[in-house]
Amino acid sequence: MTDEPARRKRAGGRAGMKVRAGTAVIDQMPWRIPVNPDAPVEPLDADGVQRVHKTAMRILRDIGIEFLNPEAVEHLRRAGCIVNGTNVRMDEDFVMEMVARAPESFTITPRNPERELIMGGKHMLFVNVSSPPNAWDMERGKRSGDFETFREFMKLTQYFNCIHIAGGYPVEPVDIHASVRHLDCLYEKLTLTDKVVHAYSLGAERVEDVMEMVRIAGGLTEAEFQAKPRMYTNINSVSPLKHDYPMLDGAMRMAKRGQPVVVTPFTLAGAMAPVTMSGAVA
């Protein structure tokens, strides 16, 4: 009687899970900010870029953007823009002057200065996902977001060196009322992580509360807080060609206290904008 050689088991599946479960830590690279060594992708040639630019300038000059915030409209009026109700039109010289004032890069310093980030240029920063309604894992399956799961994701955000920013809520904690959710979530962000944090621009109270909590957590005076970027917010336009009240309000409140605002477009090609890439970009 001969012994048959033992079958080799595959590494994955339940056996693989058991092996991985016994690992005390996850091997990872040290904290660093990667720099992209490659040239930017250029989907359009120089003529194509120029056509997009001219189209964007024509939209701003002839059609205008709806700014649904009286304070923002008044600022633009004083700056020389043409205002008709909530519609604001601006010429190319004004646009290019304002764009030229934006720095190529800037530094954000959280409460732990060793987590300082350079935003812009060729620096690549990675942030946790923001605001999904549900969570899923291999033990509990799919479920609605709750505060405990939010805290778990914050711990992971702190642990992984490849995540540079504790951005929005990695899952919405729907078991906390929306009116006070930002207070509980920011407290956990500031106690479970020491990385740069983000504020949702969803109303004056939320933005002001978050800035004040970041200031207190850093042990900063108001002058020290305003002296350099400590956090950030991002706002997006809504179609067609609009900026809504709460996001404009949040952006202005952040700017008044020296904190950066990232502005991103929100458009669905073929629904809110032309189906072509160049048309949607314009």
Q: What is the pLDDT of residues 198-241, one digit of tens each?
A: 999 988 999 999 999 999 999 999 999 999 999 999 998 887 78
Q: Would residue 77 count as lying in a domain?
A: no
Decide if 17 is inside a domain.
no
Q: How confident is residue 57, by pLDDT bands cut at 50, 70 and 90? A: very high
Q: Which segment of 9-18, 98-107, 232-241 scores lowest on mean pLDDT?
A: 9-18
Q: Is residue 54 part of a domain?
A: no
Domain contains 214: yes
Q: Is 72 part of a structural domain of the chain?
A: no
More confident residue, 248 or 8: 248
Reply yes or no on whether the pLDDT at 7 is more than 60. Answer: no
Buried b (16+ CB within 10 A) or exposed e, 195-218: bbbbbbbbbeebbebbbebbbebb
- Residue 257 resides in a domain: no
Give the domain range for residue 170. Answer: 105-233
Please state the rounded mean pLDDT for residues 32-48. Answer: 93
Mean pLDDT over all residues of the chain? 90
Q: What does the block give as tokens for 222? A: 């108001």
Answer whether residue 266 is part of any domain: no
Q: Provide the number of structural domains found in the chain.
A: 1
- 26: pLDDT confidence band, cut at 50, 70 and 90? confident
Residue 86 is assigned to a structural domain of this protein? no
Average pLDDT (170-188) is: 96
